[in-house]
Structure 1
Amino acid sequence: MSQMNIANVDLNLLKVFEALHDEASASRAALRLGVTQSAVSAALRRLRELYGDQLFVRTGRGLAPTLRANQLKPVVSDALNKCRQSLAMVDPNQGHYEGRSVAIGLSDDFEIAIGRRLMQLMQTRAPKLRLIFRQSHSQIVAEALLERSIDLAITSGGFADRLLSRRVLGEGGYLCLADPASLRAGQNQLTLEEFVARQQILVSSGGFIGIVDEGLATLGMTRQVCASTTHFAALPYLLKGTQALATIPAHAAEAIAALTGLSLLPCPLPMPRYPIELGWRTSALIDPAVIKVREAIAELF
């Protein structure tokens, strides 16, 4: 391993490292950085000498980071982001967001509900900033935030760690979606009996039982689930042309109905409301890019 002396290190190598880790490909890293692939390969050789590690190994799907590369990634990205922040300190009104990204952990119901509007807001407030939407949920957001694979997260809880901060954005409820062709003319609600008589689609990250099943069980009732899916975005394709219905968070149901023409119906089963929270690493509070996205999300709710 070469002697670690920052005076002898070309800090542009860190940009190559970040691009290789994000893109898992020398050719895509080269495109991202606006350099040749041979320049990226040469930089990777120097990075390997510098850190005394392979850093990235070739697999059938591109370049996979080693354990050391994964350990280095949050430190390198933090260092580069602090350099980018320093430019904003010199000219705070200019907004130096080129090359910056903010990763948001969320399930796709939130992505469907606010993703497009958040993109539009950030185009005016932080031009050239890239938003990265990453699938997440309350059981894994804390670890993802602490490991720096995401910068912000929108979930119903999961931010108990002392190194994390959170803000309650609001409360969520549930609505039903169905193909209007499966309803009677002018029908805008279902009785509980009609509700349980219909085949239903469950959106779940892996379980066979959903919150609807729990609510029905308290009434001594059950429903028939004909299919389950892990993503809300699949629902229009699964519901159209069928008699099935889906009961999902209201914010996603409203966005899907507006875009697809599916019918929106109140849920005849009493459903609990739940908190919608925004979480972040407390240490990220000084990052202007994260702050701008955080404020924009709060506005959208």
Structure 2
Amino acid sequence: MRIIASGEIDACLEDRAVLETLRHAFRSNTIAPRTSPIPIDRPDHLTGTLSLQPAWTDFAAQGDVSRGYVGCALSLDLPEQPGLASSLYLLFSGSGGQPVALLDGMRLNAWRTSALHALAAGYLSREDTSRLLVIGDDPRLPRLVSAYAEVRNLSSVLLAGTSQGTRSRIGGLAALRDVHVGETGDIRTALDGADMVCIAGLDHQAGHLDALAALDPPAGCHIDVLDPSAPLPELLLQEARLFTSDLAAPPLTGLEWAADMKELTRGSKAGRRYYGQRTLFLPGSGTGLADHALAAHIFLKT
């Protein structure tokens, strides 16, 4: 069994190939059952969780087991270290059942998340999208912005509430060599010129929640929600055309979801219906299908 560390994952991947791997995965018949997090009792009445995200090739539909894999993402989140969940991905041979690879789940997560959101943006944002506004901070943002640049010809990236370290990493991206990268503290004004908005982790002390409560993107804007806990305005959720990764388990109930990634990639449902329509993408918690596809791609590339 090979152990594939973060450096090896970065060395063998590039945005275009990862985007196409996920596009193919959503069009495939890969089986990805949902599982519930397993509670782990800790001292002082605290509880951690162990989450499993299994997936495997549809061997029955395929008619043989000579190709394909069985995989499972394992994520451990303990209350003593909030926000620092550790994860691994275990990949088995579909023919013999032997484990073939153990991958760094954190790095797999960064590549999968960025590709998922960028793939959605390729279907949902306007083709002439060039001005990106990022609100908040997240260590995956440099990877995500690089993937955005693969699906849209960006000319400007404005960062609001993003840490100095993240800003420096984004500014140094090869994919943004000819792109203006700046920062702003005036989110409301920056919104007026944005073609696409990414909502990342928000700083409760910096007034970002107030700005988000009044979030009113211009007509035709695509809103990509990286932070699933972001409190989105009810009016925006009612007016925008909503999309998620898997309609079998949408992230919010009581809303009218237009389509998921399977329907978008297969062309069975439309994305943006007209130029001035606002679209919003909020993924669900299930990542088994995308993780399985990307882990197999990495295994074959290393």
| TM-score in terms of structure 1 length | 0.26
Relative to the length of structure 2, the TM-score reads 0.25
Q: Which structure would you say has the larger Rg?
A: 1
